[in-house]
Amino acid sequence: MTDYVIRPALEAESAQIKDLINGVGINPTGLDWKRFIVAVNENGQVIACGQIKPHGGDIRELASIAVSPKYRGLGLARAVIEMLLRENPKPLYLMCVSHNGPMYEKFGFHVLTDKQMPRYFARIKKLFGIADVFRKSGEELLVMKLE
């Protein structure tokens, strides 16, 4: 198993975070290195990351959870998520495609109905649904909450 350290990101790692997020194909907006927790290997390479993204008021989102394909299966996503959950007050929200829902349920997140979700998330979910008509992934966007 590869040795790694999980810690708050450094400004010098900003480009690596963006590269990882783009490389795994998740939402690349709102990537502020100051909010990130990273897993760094023995060579100083960012191999996993995640952040808590603020949306105003008490609406904060667990977001940008990414693990380099070469390092998957080592528990890095879990370790990053656990650190973010420990260091941030509830409630926390997240958005994920439906096949990832069960993973987040293990942390205590539950799926919200359209009526339960803040307006920001409802808008994003609606846009996702419209885009999926063309993409045809068959995936639903889940909005989940941890209280």
SS3 content of the chain, % helix, strand, coil (to 5): 40, 30, 35
Using the Cα atoms of residue 14, residue 95, residue 117 and residue 29 in order, give the sign of their dihedral.
positive
pTM comes to 0.92
Q: Is the pLDDT reported for residue 131 higher than 90?
A: no
Architecture of domain 1-88: 3-Layer(aba) Sandwich (3.40)
Look up residue 75 and give its amino acid: G
What pLDDT is stored for residue 69 in this prediction? 97
Give pLDDT tens digits for 65-118.
999 999 999 999 999 999 999 999 999 999 999 999 999 999 999 999 999 999
What is the torsional sign of CA 78, 120, 56, 91? negative
Give residue limits of the domains in the chain: 1-88, 90-147
Higher pLDDT residue, 139 or 122?
A: 122
Distance CA 4, CA 38 (A): 10
User: Per-residue pLDDT averaged across 110-127, rounded?
Assistant: 94
Residue 53 has pLDDT above 90, yes or no: yes
From the CB of residue 71, how many other CB atoms can be counted at a distance below 10 Å? 18
pLDDT at 57 (0 to 100):
86
Q: At residue 58, does pLDDT exceed 90? A: no
Given this model, what pLDDT does residue 30 score? 92
**CA 46, CA 49: separation in Å to the nearest integer?**
7
